[in-house]
């Protein structure tokens, strides 16, 4: 899928003066409507986090600091990504374990980055005059990286990935690699790293090719372009990582990488500086939120990883308290969670305002709005979807607030207004519910006439559907069901939110077939998931179709099972795999009588003598006590044709055609009504006890009464 979509068009919205009274007084300006479109999806989010590097900071995080970082309660950051250092000395690997083990238990994604190879593998004076790894040691280096992944997993850390090299294009104090060298290593040795996924080298700067001032043009995006253009390297590279130092917003877009099918992570940065004790400088800290926004929206990054989690300029200060920079990241990390998908939003509805949006599931949307300007805005947000808003909670960081919560913001249907104070970051957690679908003037919730539209009907099982103008019931087209391999294969439609468990509805579908036997038994069936999570079936309607003629499958009062969900209706046949057609599929308010084709019967003219007789059916009831045998007398019509024809006696209720009406017929009809695959009615006419051309629970009830008369 092309991840780059055009932003939703700006919709000019008049801001009524009366609305201003609902918001704080001050310098407030109107802005364009911000439209959130849940149907346009971009990248999946892996999470937000930072590095723990005790080798460089001098001490590991404490247990309390780990909880603050990776917990998601009050006064916690909600981080879901941890980066660790691959020490070149394997005897020191244990230093990375305590925090990594804690983060793993909290469900965070842990990945690793090497700065240099073991000392015995390195050489000095590489092509850039830096520490260098000769090609003769590529195999040993691959084994070193693989061993680190194994070590972490053996100690309870399911390491997600390990990169080839941290900042090979900077390499001031660590290993230098050219872009050709990293591509060669990944292509020819990357498959030897099996203990975890292999990440690309992490460039110092996500700069256009030739623009990196550090590596004289041989760095930045050139690392990734060469991997993309090398089939073996691309196959061995599981994901891409980059750093954002000195990276302009305009550089962050990289369509070739974004469309390659693999995730891109921003794996290290600090903004705007690393000045001592700068972590709480405000509004400077807003630049953290802005940088995250640009990474998500412009760069389509799936993860965003800060430099030190705990530092005087970090997400937490050295005393373990969350900083203003940390709170600006927490506006994302606490509410945009792993597995969420970024969705379309009007990115800049006003000057200095930046908006991104994310979908957690069908019932939640998270919106992050940054106002870096000196003026406050009353902003309108609209969620474009088939849902309506049921609740909004806001969390805001400003000069005087840290993740300040305001519950139950006002809304109307799928729209709301909110104040965006000057120099603030606001996160809106929006809960959605399906909009009630109202029936039309005919009482129809849906009416599928198949005139140029399949209306979301699709093959059920092994079958295909196709619009066809061959034999419509009405209009110019019908839906052809073909390529069936079983009788239960047919056409299906998922019911929308108008159809609620435990309530009754009227259903009708017209069906026809042109090939095969002179008659065919057809059925409209419900598939659903019950409260235990099991897939169940229930017969809605059935009828005998005459070849070349439409038949109506209708039930004016069918009740959707209590506790059911994921309702799907489908059309099937009793036997055979011939093609068939459907037309005029309708779901309506209970009791709605839907007009359909008149029943068609076949007749045979013979010279006969007709007499009325009585057939005695003996039914034996099995029980643990002695019960008298019940004899039920059922009047039937016996037709005596010419002497050369056998006498055929139809017994009402004898659905298995064994010559008697008994409990076996009840069991078979009950199984058939619940659409069990082994249930076959050999005599459909016998099942239609009330002669209404529909086989349903009423016929089953009549059959039971006949047996106890």
- Which residues are tagged catalytic? 167, 268
Nearest residue to 352 via CA among 427, 261, 290, 259: 290
* Bond prior to 283 in cis (omega within 30° of 0): yes
678: exposed, middle or buried (Cβ count in 10 Å: 0-12, 13-18, 19+): exposed
Nearest residue to 402 via CA among 304, 330, 452: 330
3-state SS track over 462-497: CCEEEEECCCCCCCCCEEEEECCCCCCCEEEEECCC
326 touches 391 (CB < 8 A)? no
DSSP 67-113: HHHH--STT-----EEEEEE-SSGGGGGGGHHHHHHHHHTT-EEEEE
* Side-chain half-sphere exposure of 75, counting CA atoms within 13 A: 4
Cα 386 to its chain centre, rounded Å, is 15
Report the C-alpha gap between 695 and 543 in whole angstroms. Answer: 7
Nearest residue to 33 via CA among 411, 422, 366, 416: 416
Report the C-alpha gap between 671 and 539 in whole angstroms. Answer: 10
Report the C-alpha gap between 305 and 693 in whole angstroms. Answer: 67
DSSP 214-231: TTTTSSTTHHHHHHHT-H
Strand-strand pairing, 490-494 and 565-573:
antiparallel
389 touches 414 (CB < 8 A)? yes
Q: Which two tokens stand for residue 224?
A: 């990734």
Crossing angle (nearest 10°) for helices 97-105 and 63-70:
40
Q: Which two tokens stand for residue 640?
A: 């005596």
Report the C-alpha gap between 466 and 445 in whole angstroms. Answer: 23
* Bond prior to 90 in cis (omega within 30° of 0): no
Q: Which two tokens stand for residue 56?
A: 């460089």
Rounded to a whole number, what is the largest CA-CA distance in the chain? 113
Output DSSP code: residue 135.
G
Q: Which two tokens stand for residue 494?
A: 């998922």
């Amino acid at each position: 899928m092309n991840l780059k979509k055009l932003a939703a068009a700006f919709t000019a919205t008049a801001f009524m003066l009366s609305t201003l009274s609902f918001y704080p007084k001050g310098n407030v300006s109107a802005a364009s409507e911000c439209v959130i479109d849940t149907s346009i999806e971009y990248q999946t989010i892996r999470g937000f986090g930072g590095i723990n590097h005790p080798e460089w900071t001098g001490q590991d995080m404490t247990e309390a600091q780990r909880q603050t970082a990776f917990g998601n309660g009050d006064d916690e950051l909600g981080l879901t990504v941890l980066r660790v250092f691959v020490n070149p000395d394997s005897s020191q690997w244990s230093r990375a374990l305590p925090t990594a083990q804690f983060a793993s238990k909290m469900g965070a994604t842990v990945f690793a980055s090497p700065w240099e190879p073991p000392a015995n593998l390195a050489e000095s004076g590489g092509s850039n005059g830096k520490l260098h790894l000769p090609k003769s040691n590529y195999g040993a280096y691959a084994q070193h990286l693989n061993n680190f992944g194994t070590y972490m997993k053996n100690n309870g850390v399911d390491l997600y990935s390990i990169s080839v090299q941290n900042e090979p294009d900077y390499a001031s104090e660590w290993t230098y690699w050219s872009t050709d060298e990293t591509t060669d290593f990944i292509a020819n040795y990357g498959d030897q790293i099996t203990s975890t996924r292999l990440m690309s080298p992490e460039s110092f700067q996500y700069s256009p090719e030739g623009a990196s001032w550090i590596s004289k043009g041989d760095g930045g995006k050139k690392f990734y372009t060469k991997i993309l253009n090398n089939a073996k390297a691309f196959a061995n590279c599981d994901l891409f990582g980059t750093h954002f130092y000195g990276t302009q917003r305009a550089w962050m877009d990289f369509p070739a990488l974004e469309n390659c099918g693999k995730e891109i992570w921003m794996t290290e940065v600090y903004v705007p500086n690393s000045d001592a004790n700068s972590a709480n400088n405000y509004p400077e800290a807003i630049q953290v939120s802005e940088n995250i926004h640009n990474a998500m929206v412009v760069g389509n990054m799936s993860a965003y990883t800060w430099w030190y989690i705990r530092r005087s300029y970090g997400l937490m200060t050295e005393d373990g308290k969350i900083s203003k920079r940390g709170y600006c990241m927490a506006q994302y990390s606490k509410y945009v969670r792993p597995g969420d998908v970024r969705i379309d939003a009007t990115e800049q509805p006003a000057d200095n305002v930046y908006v991104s949006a994310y979908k957690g599931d069908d019932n939640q949307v998270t919106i992050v709005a940054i106002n870096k300007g000196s003026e406050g805005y009353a902003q309108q947000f609209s969620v474009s979807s088939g849902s309506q808003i049921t609740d909004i909670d806001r969390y805001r960081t400003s000069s005087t607030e840290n993740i300040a919560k305001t519950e139950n913001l006002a809304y109307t249907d799928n729209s709301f207004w909110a104040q965006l104070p000057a120099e603030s970051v606001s996160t809106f957690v929006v809960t959605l519910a399906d909009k009630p679908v109202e029936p039309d003037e005919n009482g129809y919730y849906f009416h599928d006439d198949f005139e140029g539209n399949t209306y979301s009907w699709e093959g059920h099982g092994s079958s295909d559907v196709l619009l066809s103008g061959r034999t419509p019931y009405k209009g110019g087209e019908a839906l052809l069901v073909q390529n069936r391999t079983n009788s239960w294969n047919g056409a299906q439609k998922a019911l929308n939110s108008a159809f609620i468990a435990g309530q009754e509805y009227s259903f009708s579908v017209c069906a026809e077939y042109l090939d095969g036997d002179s008659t065919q038994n057809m059925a409209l069936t419900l598939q659903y998931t019950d409260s235990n999570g099991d897939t169940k079936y229930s017969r809605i309607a059935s009828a005998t179709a005459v070849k070349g003629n439409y038949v109506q499958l209708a039930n004016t009062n069918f009740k959707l099972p209590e506790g059911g969900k994921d309702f799907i209706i489908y059309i099937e046949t009793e036997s055979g795999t011939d093609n068939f057609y459907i037309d005029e599929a309708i779901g309506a308010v209970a009791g709605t009588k839907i007009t359909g084709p008149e029943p068609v019967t076949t007749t045979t003219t013979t010279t006969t003598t007709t007499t009325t007789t009585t057939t005695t059916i003996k039914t034996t009831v099995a029980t643990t006590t002695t019960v008298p045998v019940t004899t039920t007398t059922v009047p039937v019509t016996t037709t005596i044709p010419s002497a050369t024809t056998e006498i055929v006696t139809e017994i009402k209720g004898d659905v298995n055609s064994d010559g008697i009406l008994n409990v076996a017929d009840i069991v078979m009809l009950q199984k058939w009504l619940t659409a069990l695959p082994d249930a076959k009615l050999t005599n459909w006419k016998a099942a239609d006890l009330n002669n209404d051309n529909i086989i349903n629970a009423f016929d089953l009830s009549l059959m039971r009464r006949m047996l106890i008369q």
